[in-house]
Structure 1
Amino acid sequence: MNNLVVKICGILDVPTIESMLNLPIDYIGFVFAKSRRQVTPGQVADMIQALGNHHIKVPETAGVFVNPSEQELEETVRHASLDIIQLHGQESPEFCKWVKQSLNVKVFKVFSNLHQIVMRDDSTNSYEQVDEECSKLLNPYVNQIDALMLDTYDPVVGGGTGETFNWELIPIVQRWTKKNNVPLIVAGGLDVDNVRSLISTYAPDGVDVSSGVETNRIKDVKKIKTFVERVRVNV
């Protein structure tokens, strides 16, 4: 990822996809985990086919899962030709490796509970101590994932809650991602009002939004357009 990338997640239908095709969006996401935005492999296959009907560069497609089985992923990819598997659970480095090698896809690994581990109330903890703890957790994922994602923790759906997390975590993880050349994508409660602040303060490699571009729980094309415009300002 050489430039700041944009991912719009939780897509449910072809009209929403077609409304975004002329926008500079890099990834679109489909939620297979239990969620109000959950879709089936058949539905996603139809949406991906609709993408292919347009003779322009289209976004890459990501499937969102929480602790899936190998069989679930194999069956899903057999129906829907996803480019990326996005993992929101407690998937191990070994599982990520299997996904990349066996399914021939990219892997985006979401970490939504790092703040519970690497951020301490004890002010005596030094940068070195925190970095060591972060590296201990993340080093096994080097070469097994194509991007690291930060999201707000939710024990059921994994993400997409519309709530932000403590952004002070970002520089801690960012030191690791830069050192290991792993792109960092930030999700969790982003919207048209706060995305510029995130980008100008922390300069992640990418941003991911779902509920932040919805109105009454439905994707709002105007909000998507505004979100993308605000991301792309001075990028």
Structure 2
Amino acid sequence: MIIKICGVRARDHALTAVDAGADMLGLVFAPSRRQITVEDAASIAEAARFAARGRGRAITLIGVFVNETVERIRDIASSCGLDGVQLSGDEPVIYADALAPLLVIKAVRFDDSAQERAWLIHDHAHVQLLVDARVPGNYGGAGVVADWERAAELARWRSLMLAGGLTPENVADAITRVRPWGVDVSSGVESNGVKDHGKIRAFIAAARAAAR
């Protein structure tokens, strides 16, 4: 089970996630209240990697983008030493080849658009789907639960990561019902809009227990 803590903006929250056993950290470069600068992201990435190495493992750093150009995504990925990118907007499937060999996580929301269908049909080795909640005018981090039923159907034939409204309280149920490759949380481990150390640890512990 891959566990991703997304929307990390502070070094201490990143280190808590690493210490608690997170596999991925998401750094948001798209306009939002969780947006981070390239400089801060690079500093957090370096600290997280150092901490992970001290524990004899690795941490995967993912940059989150919404409708950004391939050139800009590649520039930021290079500057921060990112391992992969998450495309949370309306990006066309041609981005998959354009961003290789970076890991590409593409958010889908079951909106039945032609662009989304293209991502579902094309199975690239370096592309991972992420099922998020469909909230008109919102590209993620809204705390709304995704469609677990459709996600479970998709998970039967495509490996996927589940996001959308996950919390320490419901992540075990989500894993049991959907059987995803991984889970992704942002607002569900926050208190008053700020990452909460206790909730980060509780989420990771609940997800690990459910996966076992």
TM-score normalised per structure 1:
0.81
SS at match of 2:107: strand
| Alignment of 1:139 onto 2:121 | yes
Q: 1:88 is matched with which residue? A: 88
Classify 1:76/1:197 alpha carbon distance in 2 versus 1 (closer, same or farther; 3 Å).
same
- Equivalence for 1:205: 181
Check 1:12–1:19 CA distance in 2 against 1; reply closer, same or farther (3 A cut).
same
The DSSP-based 3-state class of the residue aligned with 2:166 is coil
Partner of 2:168: 192
Post-superposition offset of 1:168: 1.6
Report the Cα distance in structure 1 between the residues aligned to 2:156 and 2:125, rounded to whole angstroms: 18
- Determine helix, strand or coil for the equivalent of 1:85: strand
Q: Superposed, which structure 2 residues align to 1:17-96 within 5 Å?
A: 17-54=14-51, 55-56=54-55, 57-96=57-96
Number of residue pairs matched by the alignment: 206
Residue 107 (structure 1) aligns with: 104
* Superposition deviation, residue 136 in structure 1: 6.4
For the residues of structure 1 that align with 2:50 and 2:24, how far apart are their CA atoms? 17
Where does the alignment leave 5 or more consecutive residues of structure 2 unmatched? none
In 1, the alpha carbon distance for the partners of 2:187 and 2:83 equals 22
List per-residue Cα deviations over 1:165-215 (Å, max 9, x = no partner). 2222113322330xxxxx210000000111111111221111100000001
- Contact in 2 for aligned 1:107/1:144 (Cα 8 Å): no
Aligned-CA RMSD value? 2.0
User: 1:97–1:144: 8 Å Cα contact kept in structure 2?
Assistant: no
* CA distance in structure 2 between the partners assigned to 1:109 and 1:135 by the alignment: 12
Do 1:174 and 1:184's aligned partners in 2 also have CA atoms closer than 8 Å? yes
Match of 1:217 among 193, 196, 200: 193
Asked if the contact 1:21–1:58 (Cα under 8 Å) also holds between the matched residues in 2, the reply is no
Unaligned 5+ segments in structure 1 are 119-133, 178-182
TM-score in terms of structure 2 length: 0.89
After superposition, the Cα gap between the structure-2 partners of 1:94 and 1:25, relative to the gap in structure 1 and judged at 3 Å, is same
Whole-angstrom CA distance in 2 between matches of 1:16 and 1:223? 11
Aligned to 1:117: 112
Query: What code does the residue aligned with 1:32 have?
Result: F
Please say if residues 35 and 157 of structure 1, whose CA atoms lie closer than 8 Å, have aligned partners that are also in contact: no
Residue 149 of structure 1, CA deviation? 0.4
Q: 1:154 to 1:66 in 2, by over 3 A?
A: farther
Q: What is the one-letter code of the residue matched to 1:108?
A: I
Equivalent residue in structure 2 for 1:161, among 139, 142, 165: 142
The answer on whether the counterparts of 1:185 and 1:205 sit within 8 Å (CA) in structure 2 is yes
Mark the CA change 1:71 to 1:157 in structure 2 (over 3 Å): closer, same or farther.
farther
Give the Cα separation in 1 of the matches to 2:15 and 2:22.
Answer: 12
Secondary structure in 1 matching 2:36:
coil
Cα shift readout 1:91-127 (whole Å, capped 9, x = no counterpart)? 2221111111xxx311111102x1x439xxxxxxxxx
Greater displacement, 149-158 / 73-82: 149-158
Percent identical: 32
Q: Distance in 1 between matches of 2:83 and 2:137?
A: 25
Aligned in 2, Cα 1:22/1:190: closer, same or farther, shift over 3 Å?
same
Q: Which amino acid aligns with 2:124?
A: N
- Which secondary structure state, in structure 1, belongs to the residue aligned with residue 157 of structure 2? helix
8 Å contact from structure 1 (residues 66, 157) kept in 2: no
Residues in 2 aligned to 1:137 and 1:84: alpha-carbon distance in whole angstroms: 17
Larger CA Rg, structure 1 vs 2: 1
